[in-house]
Amino acid sequence: MILIQTFMLIAAYFFGCYPRYIWSKQIEELNHKIRQELTNHYFEKSSSTVSMQNQMINDLYLIKENYANSLLQIFYNLTVAIGVLFSLLSFHWSLCILSAVIAFLQILVPKLLETKLEEAGQNISNANQQYLKELGYWLVGISEIRRFLAGAKLFDILSTASFQPEKAIKKNQVVDSSLDFFNKVVYSLGDMLILILTGYLVIKKITQFGLISSISNFNWFLFGSLMAVSNFIGRIKSVIKVNQQVLQARENVTNKFNDNTGQIPVGLLIKDVSITFKNNKKIKFPNFKVKKGEKILLTGKSGIGKSTLFKIILGELQPDSGKVVYFGQTGEEIYPDLSKIGYLPQDPILFPTSIMNNITMFDSKINNNVQEAIKKVQLQDDLKELPEGLNTKIDLDKINISGGQRQKIILARAEIHNSRILLIDEGTSAIDKDNSSKIISQILKTDKTIVFIAHNLDKSTKAKFDRVISWKTN
């Protein structure tokens, strides 16, 4: 007998836990797929990293806890409730009918708070996204805050910023408590009505007297399960909008990582281009044409919009008016492959992998061309000082390479990827004057089309460019 009881306990534990394990495994596999699709979406749409982080971490967690896991709990509790209804039917049909009516009312309860539930769930997502954005604004300058011993202000700002997610969570809890209150009202009403009906059936001798003592247990299982179903339906409703946003992002995936169907551009024309920002600041860009192989120096005061122009040329920003025209080898207008335009921004973007990978961007087919590229940008002496040379892994936290080395790596990246147009935004500002002059001279000797933004070049270096465009006003 003991062996049988032990076996039954083990079997009950297995059949209780195994389905939950399978369900959790399926959810994690689905989340992994969704994260891949969201990565594709944000790669294609050039949306903010804050939105990406919020959807991949916070929103998927909310959907998992409030949607996916709630579905499992609804299935389990509905199974219990249906079993109890059939048991009540065996006593008398009226008990089953009354319980079914109350069950219907119980399931309708979340409908009363549907709008508030949706708003509460959306508020959590929005507040978390805003918090991540605030973190990004301040933590990007953490080294400066340390240098000026302004930690107290940082803690104060982040403490204030964290208040909004906490406030959203508290509001969500208030709505959940309201739903729970209404569910308990229906629970109590149902329990009372079933008990009254049972008493009536016993008095009329339609059922046995012993049913009165056991009906409360049936009510507990029935209405307890239905109350749980109602609460879990409420949790699902709270993430409907969040779920829809994630689904929309998944549907917008184009399933291609780069539109390289165009031709390689070698020249361009800026024609009547303007852009307006959210603060209503409008920038009108000067009209100019850059011919194949031409070397242009673009100058102008800081903040006038030179870097913004580069982002428009690269397709990262869309202008409100005007257009950028791209030209092919014979001067014809073309549909461009924008990945073939090299770009060195003011703050070079590197990845936490080897210098080799940062230059080739994970294209092993061009590994043999790396040595020639690093010579052209004066990087070979820097590599000799690093412990593993090209295989040195870049540490973005400890910053194990200098600003000048970062710029040289990006220059080598543009060189090796056969970029026929090269956009350089203060690209040698972190490199010493002698090496900067050598690198610029080396770049200008190539047949590439170059647009170079700089402020502090000497006259001899400026003279090496074909033209200087001085941008004075918008």
Q: What is the pLDDT of residues 388-403, one digit of tens each?
A: 888 988 887 777 788 7
**Domain stop point among 185, 217, 251:** 251
- Count structural domains, the chain: 2
More confident residue, 345 or 210: 345
Domain holding 446: CATH number?
3.40.50.300
Assign 13 a pLDDT band (cuts: 50, 70, 90): low
CA distance 291 to 271: 14
Query: For 355-379, b where at least 16 C-beta lie within 10 A, e where not — what string?
Result: bbbbbbeeeeeeeebbeebbebbbb
Q: Is the pLDDT score of 260 beyond 80? A: no
CA distance 191 to 204: 20
Residues 226 and 136 in one domain: yes
**Domain stop point among 208, 224, 251:** 251
Domain holding 78: CATH number?
1.20.1560.10
pLDDT tens digit sequence for 315-324: 888 888 999 9
pLDDT the model gives residue 256: 42
Residue 418 domain-assigned (yes or no): yes
pLDDT the model gives residue 149: 67
Residue 373 domain-assigned (yes or no): yes
Residues 12 and 101 in one domain: yes
Give the ranges where 321-422 is alpha helix by DSSP (H): 355-360, 370-376, 380-385, 403-416
pLDDT the model gives residue 294: 93
Residues 117 and 230 in one domain: yes
Q: Is the pLDDT score of 186 beyond 50? A: yes
Residues 176 and 316 in one domain: no
Residues 57 and 187 in one domain: yes
Q: Is the pLDDT score of 38 beyond 80? A: no
Q: Is the pLDDT score of 78 beyond 70? A: yes
Residues 190 and 225 in one domain: yes
pLDDT the model gives residue 120: 84
More confident residue, 462 or 8: 462
Range of the domain at 315: 267-470
Residues 178 and 277 in one domain: no
pLDDT the model gives residue 8: 52
Q: Taking all residues of the chain, what is their mean pLDDT, rounded to a whole number?
A: 80
pLDDT the model gives residue 258: 45
Residues 203 and 294 in one domain: no
CA distance 374 to 220: 75
pLDDT tens digit sequence for 58-70: 888 888 888 888 8
Please provide residue 429's backbone torsions phi and psi, each rounded to the nearest 5 degrees. -65, -25
Residues 162 and 298 in one domain: no
Mean per-residue pLDDT, 44-53: 66
Among 3-12, 101-110, 280-289, 323-332, name the most confident range.
Answer: 323-332
pLDDT the model gives residue 255: 43
